[in-house]
Each structure stands twice: as structure tokens, then as C-alpha cells.
Chains A and B, each alone.
Chain A
């Protein structure tokens, strides 16, 4: 992963000092609430329902064991003993005191971490596939491009006061969208053409109130021009994005209003000026970045499926089941990627305690070159595990409660913190997630159903990505009461696709029975090996609507 050089450290220490002074001036009354707001947001600090919420940046989800231990220490010393993995792969704390935040930032800086631009109307943390660099299907490692973008975006003076937040994702897997680039403000697809690396650049995707899939703006941007092209798009957005209405301020609204053609023409005009200028990347610079993401010291003598693994698979049914759900193929023979599911029933999806963070740090050291990754599904990945070590690792994960074999299954839900924590929320998310987990507690049945993405958001801001869930659940408020609207057919798997609304919303206690009925219909109608979402696409919404609202069930 990217290792800081002296200037990166210097920047962070100056940032800590700057924020310490801003916090002091705010507490002294020299800065008004309004003036402090964008300053604290660009340092990841929200004022939430019960306490501030601090969002720590995890660039492309990569974490070292040292960093995991520091995250655990922060949870212990300044929070209530736990942290939360967000859908942007960041780590959130729900209970810090404002006065302590400068000290927390100083502690983070010790381990090359920060909360810069994790919120606010600026360019947010760049994300990518959680299996970046180890995914056999990718054409190259996208992380060096992410780091190049991160450095360009960090404290970029021109783009710190954009009309709205701005999210960029990079994907290097062809014909699939594991980084969800289709629903980002800018999506960057790494492509190879005639032996040259370039980028297909999408703009104007996003979830929230008006969900949209992005339009292709740059069909093939040669790699030296990546930053110039991004800067051109950002400048068009900064100049012409709507600032009168925050609900119409995202770039997706601008792209839609102008049309992709006009937006592309404006971008090209800016790009014409920037192209071949000082932002042009050189091969040396890209190679240097690639050097930061060098291959770990794999044992290259290993073969696939060693005897130890085969024996364990044959003799232990629980291990076998976990292997087939939570273990992902790896580009390096003899290795595998392991997903630790943070989806234990009774625990908010994505929550992890200080002790568990320490335990993951230990396991990463023993089994995975001291590195872990967070995922947008709110889980944690150990990316480089020897296949002959999978069984002993599983035993330890099982003891810790991280081996629930439900990855991608109905109970591996994405859920925002909802009304229990978030002051924006209209409804609770966590109790809905828990009710679903309690109802669908038969692991055989879940495995029989196969992958079903259930995504829950407590409000229109869509932090739980409900629009791209095969089954999406959106909390809405009607005259002070909480209701839940269901969408079906969204996808964040092979492609990004926005789900359709099923119909009128349901009471909280109806959500589980409705989902059960939808799932029953799928079981009755599916073809062999057909996923829930594929059956939905084949049948259309009508039969699902009929079943969901049927009164004789």
C-alpha cells in the first residue's frame, strides 16, 4: 500500500495544527457555526444526533495492522469501544467529543491516516474494487491510479467549495462494475486499447434523491491525460453546477440538464487548454506510484488447492460452506482472499469493536502480509491468505464471530446507521436489518436462495445504497411515522442499475413478511441457478407487486 514520504507526513501534521486552531477559534466564538461547518466537514466531522460523528479516510480501503490497532485504540480511548465500516470503505466513530477531535487526528497522523475530505462539498475519498490488485479478472491494478487521483484531489485549491460533494471511483475489471463506477459523480474505467492504457470516463452517476447511472463523457482518455481530463470535468461542474438548491446541485443534475453532448463539449473545451500542460503524467511518475503497490512476497512455489485445504474441505462441513461463500479466488496461485463478515445478528452491519480491530490486526499479520481492506458492503477482507492456511484462519475467525458464511447472501445486508444515529435519517435502519437477520436465520435456506443484495437506507440520501440493492429498503417519514419503501431489481454486482419502486410503502412490522413473500415467489418461479435479480428481470415487476400486496398470504 501507499507508504508516506516525509512530505505526506508534514502535510498531515500541518493539517492537524490547522484544525486544532480552527476548533479553538470555534469554541472561542471567533468562528460561527456556519463558518465552522465546511471546515469541520472537510475534516470528516459531522454534528450528529447524539454526538459528533468522525469519518476517517481509508484510501481505496487499504489498512495496515498498525493502522487497525490505532483505529482500535481510538475506539477505546475516545469513543464507546467500537467503530463502523461505511459504504465508502471509510471508518466512522459515532461518539467522539468535539474537543477531542484534534487529538484523535494527531493519533491518526501517527499512523499515516486522516479525515481529510471525507465529507463536505469537495472531492471525497477515491474508491475502487476491494479486491484491487488481487482480482484475477482485472486488467491492471487500479490503485496506483487511485493514488494519483488522491494526491491531485487532496486540498485541491480550486475544488474545495464545489456545489456539492463529489465522489470518484476507479475500476479495472472489464465487463463488471465492482467499484460501482456507474453510480459515482465520476467513474473511471481502466481500459487497454491497442496495447495502451487509457480510461473510459463516466460522469453524472449517483444515488440519493435522484438516482442515475453516469454517461460516458470520455470514451478513451490516454493515461497521461487522466488528471487534465478530471480537472476539466471538475471545472465545468464548479462553474455551472447548481448552487441555489442543494437537492439539484450534484453533477448528475448538470449532466442531465445540459445533456451528455453539451457537457462533453464543455469538458473538451477545458481539456483542450489543459492537455499536454504541467498536469500531464509521465511514465516515470506512474511507475513510482505502481512501486507503492508492489506485489507482496508471495511464495511462488505454491500450487492451487493444496492437500491441507482439500482435506479440510472434505472433513469439515462448516468450513466447506464458509469456503464457498466467503473465500474469493486470487490472481496468485496458492493464495485466496478471505472476507470477514461484519454481519452478526444483533450487531449493526459494519460495526466492529476495539478488541476485534486488534484481533483483525493480529490475523492480518499472521496470515495476510499485515494488510486488510474494508469493503463497500461493510465487511473486511484479508487479501493474501495462503490456501493451506485457510483452515486455521477459519477456526480463529469462527471463534471471533467473523466467519458467518453469508457473504452476498440475504443477511449480508448493507445498512446505513439510520435514525438511531444519523440526524438526517427519516427512519431507523438497524432494527430493520436485525429483524431480517432474525427471520432468515436458517443458513441452509439462505444458501439455497443464493446471492441476494439487500440494501437499507434510513433516508433519501441513500447512504445504504438502497437503489442498487436487488431488494432495496428506504425509510421514509409520513406525518411523523416511519414507513419503508421497497425497490426491486437494482444492481451493484455486474453492472450498476437503479431499482424500481414496488409501490406504496409498508409499516416497519410488514417489511419482513413482504420480503419473505417476494423471496417465496422467486423460489417458485426461478430457473436452475437463476439469481433472484435475474428472475426479477425475466418476470418484471408485476408478479412481485401482486405478491407483495396480496392480502390472502
Chain B
């Protein structure tokens, strides 16, 4: 089974992520936890909500506002980074946590690399699917690059001058 980093440790990944193309080729949604694109979620919203094991993947340009009424029914929101340099997902993750108070899993998928993980966890990601050609054990070290941060974040909103 593939592995991911979740809550600071390496664990087996029980979720299956299906893109639009994969979904189109299927007769019905498979059993077990699945992650679907936003458009698919919106088209089959009521039945997917009822399942309780369906997560949604947001692409750059798809804001969390699109899920504003659905968070109670969502166990997981994934945010895709088609390229690691596209930073929109950082603002989306932060919004998920601070604006919508989303408590479920926020998962970074796509071009997810060690040197971005420290920032990603600070804006609210708690799960990372490391790019397949990279060593997940090495990537885990990226979560510990710094012991000091100046500004507050999703995990601790206090700036440093309020933490001492």
C-alpha cells in the first residue's frame, strides 16, 4: 500500500484519488475512501455526502468557498499542486482552517516536495502525498527545518512576541 506523511509520521494511505478521466472510465464509484474532483462532487453532491468516505480535491483556481456548505460532511479536502511553485494552495489551506474551521484532513497532493513541507504544515496541511520519485523518509525531515517562527500560523496564531 502506498505511504503518506500524516500528522508527522509515515502511514499507509487508505485513500484512492480519482481524477476526472479515471472517473469517466468507471461505471460507478468504487467502494472505500475516494477523493474526487470538485466538479464531480458538485454534480453528485447529495449521494456522496451520504457516503461519508468521499473527499474533494481542489485545483488551483478552485477556492474553498465552493465547499462552504459541505464541510460537516467532508472527512478530507485535498489541494493539488500541479507545480510546486504555484502557491495558491497555501492560501486555500489556511482558509479551510481559519475561515471555515475545517477539522478534517487537509492533504497536499501533486508536486509535493520536502522543501515546501515546513510551510505547508504551517498553513494547515496535515497530510502529504510526497511525489513518487522522492524518498518519503527524507521528506519527513522537511517538517523540522525550523524550531522558530516569527509570525503566527494556523497551529499557533500568536506572533513570536506573544509566545514568550
The reply to whether A151 and B147 form a contact with Cβ atoms under 8 Å apart is: no
- Given A7-B160, A278-B158, A279-B159, residue A160 in contact with residue B150 (CB < 8 A): no
A551 at the interface (CB under 8 A from B): no
**What is the chain A residue whose CB lies nearest that of B154?**
A157
A175 at the interface (CB under 8 A from B): no
Within 8 A of A (CB), among B59-109: 60, 63, 84-88, 90-92, 94, 98-99
| Chain B window 138-149, contacts with chain A (Cβ cutoff 8 Å), 1 for yes, 0 for no | 000000011111
A18-B115 Cα distance, complex, nearest whole Å: 9
A374 at the interface (CB under 8 A from B): no
CB distance from A394 to the nearest CB of B (A): 41
The reply to whether A152 and B119 form a contact with Cβ atoms under 8 Å apart is: no
CB distance from A152 to the nearest CB of B (A): 5
B118 at the interface (CB under 8 A from A): yes
The reply to whether B147 and A14 form a contact with Cβ atoms under 8 Å apart is: yes
A151-B149 Cα distance, complex, nearest whole Å: 9
The reply to whether A39 and B115 form a contact with Cβ atoms under 8 Å apart is: yes
The reply to whether A243 and B153 form a contact with Cβ atoms under 8 Å apart is: no
| Chain A window 22-55, contacts with chain B (Cβ cutoff 8 Å), 1 for yes, 0 for no | 1000000001000100110000000000000000
A423 at the interface (CB under 8 A from B): no
Within 8 A of B (CB), among A285-340: 285, 288
B151 at the interface (CB under 8 A from A): yes
- Given A151-B160, A160-B87, residue A11 in contact with residue B148 (CB < 8 A): yes
Number of interface residues of A (CB under 8 A): 34
- Cβ contact of A38, chosen from B85, B92, B118, B152, cutoff 8 A: B85
B8 at the interface (CB under 8 A from A): no
B17 at the interface (CB under 8 A from A): no
Within 8 A of B (CB), among A135-169: 151-152, 154-163
The reply to whether B63 and A239 form a contact with Cβ atoms under 8 Å apart is: yes
Residues of A within 8 A of B90 (CB): 157-161, 238
A379 at the interface (CB under 8 A from B): no
The reply to whether A157 and B153 form a contact with Cβ atoms under 8 Å apart is: yes
- Given A238-B91, A239-B63, A239-B91, residue A161 in contact with residue B84 (CB < 8 A): yes
A-B contact pairs, 16 of them (CB 8 A): A14-B146, A35-B84, A35-B115, A121-B85, A151-B151, A151-B160, A152-B150, A152-B151, A155-B149, A157-B90, A157-B149, A157-B153, A158-B90, A161-B90, A239-B63, A243-B88
Closest 4 CB pairs of A and B: A161-B87, A157-B122, A278-B157, A157-B119
